[in-house]
Amino acid sequence: MTTKKKPRHPLAGEMMSGADMIIQVFADEGVETIFGYNGGQVLPTYDALFRYNENKKTQQQLHLVVPANEQGAGFMASGYARATGKVGVFLCTSGPGATNCVTPIRDAMADSIPIVLVTGQVPRHCIGTDAFQEAPVFNIMSATTKHVFLVSDETKIEATVRTAFAIARSGRPGPVVVDVPKDVQNFVGPYQGEGLLELKGYDIRQKIALESRISEHEAKTFFQMLAKSHRPLLYAGGGIINANAAKELRAFSAHFNIPVVTTLMGIGSVDTTHELSLRMLGMHGTAYANYAVEDCDFLIAVGARFDDRVAGKVATFAPNAKIAHIDIDAAEIGKVRQPDWAFVGDARAALQDLMDAGATFKRDFSKWVKLVNKYKKEHPLDYEHNSQLLQPQEVLEELNKITRGDAIVCTGVGQHQMWAAQYFDFHQPRSLITSGSMGTMGFGLPASIGAQIGRPDKTVIDVDGDGSLRMNIGEMDTAVAYGVPIKLLLLNNRGDGMVLQWQRLYFGKRFSGTEKDHRQKDFVKAAQADGFQFARCIDDRRQLPKALKEFVDFEGPAFLEVRIDRDASVYPMVGPGMGYQEMITGPYIKSRVDIQPEVHDIDPEDTI
């Protein structure tokens, strides 16, 4: 049997500069859009991009989007990657250009997002001399990224950039940085059209993880645990989205009739309107999701990492449950909570393996499903309905009637982020794009631009807060300049609402540094100055349905500010370091103090 030889790259052997090689690898890797800001040490690569696009023989042009700030470029690349599942790319210069990229790189690392950053660097002979706009990118980025390269050997520039893409998208995805000295960009040599750097340890680990399948013995042990369970619960994280395993998760849940809770990053892995969906768990998860976690006896974690916003007080998290944990990253197994059963490997393959192994497994969990659906009815999300002031929850409820779970929703960070997670329906994965682990204010606007460019077929809405929007407000101009038809909804409570809520609950109402009444910014005028043809502000609920409909239906970029009750809070809330039994449901959501837990509704032999 002969192995079919891979066809030779049409440009193999052609002489190119290092800069040309960077751009050609981008094209070979299927890059469609580059987000970036030019500067002295990356000029050769930007020139190569110009020449590449100018070449009439080139069929695939590389679209360039220039942001207001390099941080914006990073979040655009991240939004693009999160919305499409492809590797996002940004290209920036040395020194402050590179250091402005640290936050989006760390943000992508924390949420396992595949992006590649190429930065210009001072020539090799200047490195270490404190040359103009020099920064030690390798040292700075090493602690914040999946991998960082400083290209010191000009003959390896092509293989290095290609390897960066391979690392970014493989295994547990993440950001990769390639720092390229200017003289390496100017180097001229033959283009190979193929080849990766040899990374023996990494390659072996990835091969083992990707080829790993659940054995017959492992499957048998898993189903022995499931057979003893009466109240199993799936706990799905962002790893489901990254592994494109939503279809398998939904099939697994339906096949075995097991309810699902998701993390913030896992939203969309199951349809939030499905009977088996209990939506988000954790600090601001639904009360019924958290009660299900308290009552379950077998917690099946897939692509989730038991982080502090979910597990809270680890010792009391899922106190009655045996734990099964599936993750692509071996470092996550037992890092926070020791499992009773674990598997390191691809979530998609693992779920399929378990379904195949359990094809004949029979266990009736209908009483448990009936119980958790009773929780949903008795402990639903709720808020103040009689206030004269507009409530943020009613704004998002009204918007949800228009989007019907089909829009891509991006957010900044704060209360509006949690309300968006709680009150929107999400039918598909990659529908909620938000900064999860890092919680980076200023994320929403640039991320929505990247998401819209990646998914021009979708309505993309940035739900933002006044504090978060201010941080990257310069990107409003970017949206208009490139005709990106995002819909920017500003929930303005004239303060840093989430921190205000913490100060209200835990710091004796000492509002230090969080009230913004002295700020005079007219956001509508700012939007108009940046070229938004639709820019409005409302504070009357009678205007709300019409304004939201016109906002969503507007063909170009649209801005709508809604002035909301500054005292509105996000509930439920599990305080920092607290357990679910200490969850505050607020004045409008019924807690188990008011309605006793109905675990007794299950047959006595089904109780723990």
d(CA 182, CA 162) in angstroms, rounded, equals 19
Tell me how far apart the alpha carbons of residues 61 and 27 are, in angstroms, rounded to a whole number: 8
Hey, is 371 helix, strand or coil? Answer: helix
Burial class from Cβ neighbours inside 10 Å (0-12, 13-18, 19+) for residue 452 reads: buried
As annotated, the active-site residues are 70, 132-133, 182, 498
Backbone angles phi, psi at 88, to 5 degrees: -85, 145
Query: How far is it between the farthest Cα atoms of the chain?
Result: 77
Torsion of Cα atoms, 3 then 4 then 9 then 15, to 10°: 40
State which amino acid sits at residue 556: G
| Residues contacting 324, CB < 8 A, separation 6+ | 222, 225, 298, 299, 300, 301, 339, 340, 341, 342
Contact (Cβ atoms closer than 8 angstroms) between residue 298 and residue 226: yes
511/500 Cα distance (integer angstroms): 6
Classify 424 as helix, strand or coil: coil
Q: Give dist(CA 274, CA 279) in Å, integer.
A: 9
Question: What's the rounded Cα separation, in Å, for the pair 82 and 244?
Answer: 12
- For the record, the structure tokens of 418 come out as 């949690």
Q: How many CB atoms lie within 10 A of CB 377?
A: 8
From CA 52, how far away is CA 55, in angstroms rounded?
5
**Quick one: DSSP state of residue 551?**
H
Q: Does the CA dihedral 34-40-45-51 come out positive or negative? A: positive
What's the token pair of residue 20? 């040309």
What is residue 503's three-state secondary structure? helix
What kind and span of H or E run contains 527? helix 523-529
CA atoms within 13 A on the CB side of 264: 27
Q: Which residues pair with 432 in a beta bridge?
A: 409
Q: Give rounded-to-5 percent helix, strand, coil for the chain.
A: 40, 15, 45
